[in-house]
Amino acid sequence: MAEILTLIILLALYLSVSGVLSLSILTIENKCDQTVWPVLYSWTSPHVTTTGFALKKGEARNIRAPFLWYGLISGRTLCSTDTSTGNFSCATGDCSSGKIECADDDYSWSTATYAFFRLDDGGVDSYTVSVEYGYNLPIMVVPSMKSQTCITAGCVVDLNKTCPQDLMNFSGEKLIACSSSCQESGTPESCCLNEFKSKENCKPTTYTKNFENACPLAYIYAYDDNNSTVICSNSTDYVITFCPTSIIPNIR
């Protein structure tokens, strides 16, 4: 029995060192000048240990990503709880759960900046920062083990400043987010649906070009081919930062 136990321990150590059993650490940090409520959603099982929480200015939280995890991270802003109903909601990035935690079996797309991760997929990781569904916060992803293909990427400018007027989202008089043309109009052409559901027929528009000029390393629309997916070795850790520079979105 002792010999078998020793072999199991040695095998576990070997797998851990070789990377087979290694876990990625996702460090989510808030450098905005107000609280951000991160959202984590999983398409694979097991899910991450939390689906939503509050992150005050200057705070960071480490999340262990499960093996073969495929999911997203986004941020909510201007959140509050209705004192009469107890319903929790956010002005941008809301996940429609009515709670700080988001539903782990369904996701409602919102106007928000997203970071998508696919970890240990065939021995590699990949991530993409996307404004396909709109923009609410600057996001930057920094991998711990950089290489020629594993680079820092994101959308780190305030896209609200160049947002077309008909895509602007306001809270009172404050501009708080910028919708995508698909989110705003829902037409087959803007959403690349029906006869437009192909790379040949789904073309860049004035709206998508505005987003791409501001955030050239972000994924812009359904058939975007601007090489926005970053490829890394598996077991790489990542820091996901909201408001990574001195840019402070006008959401207060």
Model pLDDT for residues 195-224, shown as the tens digit of each residue: 888 888 888 888 888 888 889 999 998 887
Distance between CA 230 and CA 227 in Å, rounded?
Answer: 8
pLDDT, tens only, 171-204: 999 999 999 988 888 889 888 898 888 888 888 8
Instruction: Tell me what pLDDT residue 224 has.
Output: 77
Which domains are assigned to the chain?
A: 26-242 (2.60.110.10)
> What's the rounded Cα separation, in Å, for the pair 215 and 218?
6
Q: For residue 4, give the H/E element and its range.
A: helix 2-18
What tokens does 234 get?
């598996």
Task: Kindly state the tokens that stand for 204.
Answer: 């860049």
Q: Which two tokens stand for residue 126?
A: 């990949």
Q: Which residues pair with residue 28 across a beta bridge?
A: 61, 240
Kindly tell me the burial class for residue 67, based on how many C-beta atoms sit within 10 Å of its own C-beta (0-12, 13-18, 19 or more): middle
How many CB atoms are located within 10 Å of the residue 26 CB?
24
* Nearest Cα to Cα of residue 85 among 95, 96, 104, 99: 99
Distance, CA of 65 to CA of 73 (rounded, Å):
12
With a cut of 90, say whether residue 56 has pLDDT above it.
yes
Strand partners, 129: 115
pLDDT greater than 80 at residue 125: yes
CA distances from 41 to 8, 81, 102, 114, 207 (A): 33, 21, 8, 11, 27
Its pTM stands at: 0.86
Read off the pLDDT of residues 100-112 as tens digits, 9 standing for 90 and up: 999 887 777 899 9
pLDDT at 22: 54
Instruction: Give the confidence band of 3 by pLDDT, cuts at 50, 70, 90.
Output: low
Task: Provide CB contacts within 8 A for 148, sequence distance 6+.
Answer: none
Task: Note the pLDDT tens digit of each residue in 136-150.
Answer: 999 999 999 999 999
pLDDT for the residue numbered 243? 96
Q: Mean pLDDT score of the chain, rounded to an integer?
A: 87
Residue type, 234: N
Determine the pLDDT at residue 113.
97
- The answer to whether the beta carbons of residues 52 and 38 sit under 8 Å apart is yes
Q: Which residue has the tokens 């107000």?
A: 34
pLDDT value of position 115: 97
Q: Is the preceding peptide bond at 46 cis, omega within 30 degrees of 0?
A: yes
Dihedrals phi, psi of 115, to nearest 5 degrees:
-120, 115
Mean pLDDT over 116-135 rounds to 94
How many whole angstroms separate alpha carbon 39 and alpha carbon 96?
11
245: left (phi over 0), alpha (psi -120 to 50) or beta: beta
